[in-house]
Amino acid sequence: MKASEKEKIVDQIVHEIYAAYPFLWERFGENGRKRTIEDNYHHLDHLSTTYNMGDAQFFMDYTKWLQTVLTSRNVGTELIVDNYERLYRHLDELEDQEESKAYQSYLTSGIELLKATNE
């Protein structure tokens, strides 16, 4: 994934999340917005590493870890699912469609895991 694609996707997703969930600004402020930006870069970095390794389990392990960390900071699993779903949609914009489809597959597995562990 090109750096310009990554930056565009992160900017769009963070804007969408804060528009959809204005309470996040009230609860976490500018620091929370910065963390959301960082988190989305981490998500994309882990998707890229997973793709390069050819090991989907790497992203699943990251997703489990992420859920543990964020829920301990009072960020609900449903917000992680929402973030992953937004990533999924925006990945259609990637120039490399093979990479895009692989990322979307990893995200689908991550979403299924998060929903199963949140029931």
pLDDT, residue 94, reads: 87
- Tokens 């998060």 identify what position? 114
pLDDT, residue 2, reads: 87
Using DSSP's 3-state secondary structure scheme, residue 91 falls into helix
> Pick from 118, 119, 18: which is nearest to 68 by CA?
118
Bigger pLDDT: 83 or 2? 83
Mean pLDDT of 104-119: 92
Name 107's Cβ contacts closer than 8 Å, sequence gap at least 6: 47, 59, 84, 85, 87, 88, 91
The model's pLDDT over 5-49, given as tens digits with 9 standing for 90+, comes to: 999 999 999 999 999 999 888 888 899 899 999 999 999 999 999
CA dist list (Å): 104 to 53, 98, 100: 16, 10, 6
Distance in angstroms (rounded) separating the CA atoms of residues 17 and 43: 15
What's the CATH fold of domain 3-117? Globin-like (1.10.490)
Other CB atoms closer than 10 Å to residue 45's CB: what's the count?
13
pLDDT, residue 1, reads: 81
pLDDT, residue 119, reads: 66
* pLDDT beyond 80 at 118: no
The model's pLDDT over 47-68, given as tens digits with 9 standing for 90+, comes to: 999 999 999 999 999 999 999 9
